[in-house]
Structure 1
Amino acid sequence: MIDRRTALAGITAMFGTALYAPIARAAGAVKTATMPIISEGPPSVAVFTPVQRALMTTLSERVLPTTDTPGAIAAGVPAFIEKMLADWAMPEDRVPILAGLDAIEARSMQDYKVPSARTTAVQQDALLTLAMNDGLPSGSVFFEAFRQLVLTGYYTSEIGMTQEREYLPVPGEYNGAFPYSQVNKVYSA
């Protein structure tokens, strides 16, 4: 079975040069002399306030919701994001994520008069769309980094590799005329 570190190395090709710095460091795409060995356990420090953590968890599920396969929360994406920001991010790498969450929270209180973690799915989608379209201060910077963290966390998780995608160490013979309509899942390698 492929492990998360091997999958992280494959993620670098997905985002190319626009790869969010903590993901690049974790994947080994960027080497620094002071890079410590990071444990597999919980984050070394708390990155988020309780309000930010609740919002980050809610928004990660909006980026990759539960459908016929488990969503971001079931795949452990919120814990992955906090681990990446705690142990792989430089302090300046955290700024767009934390500022973006705070901007979304402020906009939720302004527009909906409730904390963003308690807004409806439609309202949460509207807040994320606002960030994506740079309708919030540094919204697009936040959204791109956050989206990369969610996708990386999901597709390097066991759920992402085995339930969303299908893992076959050797997927079989090459058949150049295989009908696309018969492809069930995309394969993880």
Structure 2
Amino acid sequence: MRSSMFFRRSPDADADSGGAGVSRRDVLAALLAGAAVTATWTTSSAIAAIEAAGGPAAKRPGLSADEMALLSAAAQVIVPATDTPGAQEAGVPHFVGALVAGWMNDDEAALFRKGLADLDASARARYQRGYAACTPEQGAELLQALRAASPYGGRTFSLTDRILDPKAPFYLRLRDLVVLGYFTSEAGSNQELRYLPVPGKFESNVDIKTWPYQVVI
């Protein structure tokens, strides 16, 4: 079981349908429902899942190789490998990359890319190397500093609402998308959570100490 230190959208935001008559919240809800949880994420499977859930096809270039390397390093810091797979092993970077290409609107994608670039610049200023070349400890220190410098005025415990909030800072957007991608992957849902595909009988005396702490997203 892991324990990670890294662990509202405006009223008109749900009207963003990407021209397909389906809101981005609906797409996210469909992904959260688990319809696409069949295997470790790949770029093609993540894009297919977004399309199947009602999202538009990829409409802009995906992240570059350098951006993907940076995203992969950051994702692994947020969800490291322990006794269960980490973000990289679960294919989370491919999932987030697909969201940037085919789910975010243009402004969000631009801000996300800028956030990655700023994170890389902070690594070069502090450690004279790009973020992807930093040690996990250095990467964690940089994310902790980014977290401290990312105040958030939203008041919600909903992961979905935070992801859909256009005012959420880059740190929260990065962290929440990594968490979403991890716990909708086969590795995250089957090995980290207690996955019950079919509800069983009611049991009043269950030792929940043996369950992973986070059982829902």
TM-score, normalized by length of structure 2?
Answer: 0.63
Distance in 2, Cα, partners of 1:79 & 1:105: 19
Instruction: Kindly state the Cα deviation for residue 98 of structure 1 after the two structures are TM-superposed.
Output: 1.1
2:141 match: 126
The secondary structure found in structure 2 opposite 1:48 is: coil
**Paired residue for 2:192, among 164, 169, 176?**
164
Q: Which runs of 5+ in 1 are unaligned?
A: 1-16, 30-36
Preserved contact between residue 90 and residue 187 of structure 2 (Cα < 8 Å): yes
Instruction: Kindly state the Cα deviation for residue 58 of structure 1 after the two structures are TM-superposed.
Output: 0.4
Preserved contact between residue 168 and residue 187 of structure 1 (Cα < 8 Å): no
**Paired residue for 1:57, among 62, 68, 72?**
72
| 1:80 to 2:95 alignment | yes
Cα RMSD (Å): 3.2
The 3 A distance-change label for structure 1 pair 58 and 25 is farther
Instruction: Kindly state the Cα deviation for residue 184 of structure 1 after the two structures are TM-superposed.
Output: 2.8
TM-score, normalized by length of structure 1?
Answer: 0.72
Task: Name the % identity.
Answer: 28
The 3 A distance-change label for structure 1 pair 154 and 43 is farther
**Paired residue for 2:51, among 20, 26, 38?**
38
1:94 match: 109
The 3 A distance-change label for structure 1 pair 113 and 77 is same
Distance in 2, Cα, partners of 1:121 & 1:28: 32
Distance in 1, Cα, partners of 2:202 & 2:194: 17
Instruction: Kindly state the Cα deviation for residue 95 of structure 1 after the two structures are TM-superposed.
Output: 2.6
The secondary structure found in structure 2 opposite 1:66 is: coil
Aligned length: 161
1:48 match: 63
